[in-house]
Amino acid sequence: GAGVSQSPRYKVAKRGQDVALRCDPISGHVSLFWYQQALGQGPEFLTYFQNEAQLDKSGLPSDRFFAERPEGSVSTLKIQRTQQEDSAVYLCASSSGGGDNSPLHFGNGTRLTVT
């Protein structure tokens, strides 16, 4: 079946612009995560949804970052007034839920470059 799909694959933004990154999780997956991966580093947790509820947003680096999943399926990560330090790969992952359901499945990410 289809995996986690992210779009766009690449995004170049001028500093100060707003961007929106999309994630289509695996069908039926309840849990959805956003991670930020800087060059040469491991993924860092940003936020977590269970269905449409955002249960953990402790990793969002500033109030310029906002995520939503209004119908419990597709999710959008929005970054307002982008800064150079926002340049990274943004990874989305989904799972069928906590406990012993399924591991995290990652998409191929969106590479954001802020110039």
Partner 1 sequence: QQQVKQSPQSLIVQKGGISIINCAYENTAFDYFPWYQQFPGKGPALLIAIRPDVSEKKEGRFTISFNKSAKQFSLHIMDSQPGDSATYFCAAGPNQGGKLIFGQGTELSVKP
- Toward partner 1, which CB reaches closer, 62 or 101? 101
Q: How many residues bind partner 1 (CB under 8 A)?
A: 29
- Toward partner 1, which CB reaches closer, 18 or 38? 38
Counting Cα atoms < 13 Å in the Cβ hemisphere of 14 gives 0
Contact 59, 75 (CB under 8 A): no
Residues 75-114 that bind partner 1 (CB under 8 A): 91, 93, 95-109
Cβ at position 16, least distance to partner 1 in Å: 28
Beta sheet of 19-24, edge-to-edge order: 5-7, 19-24, 75-79, 65-68
For 84, list phi and psi in degrees, rounded to 5: -60, -35
Q: Does 65 bind partner 1 (CB under 8 A)?
A: no
Q: Which residues bind partner 1 (CB under 8 A)?
A: 4, 31, 33, 35, 40-45, 48, 56, 91, 93, 95-109
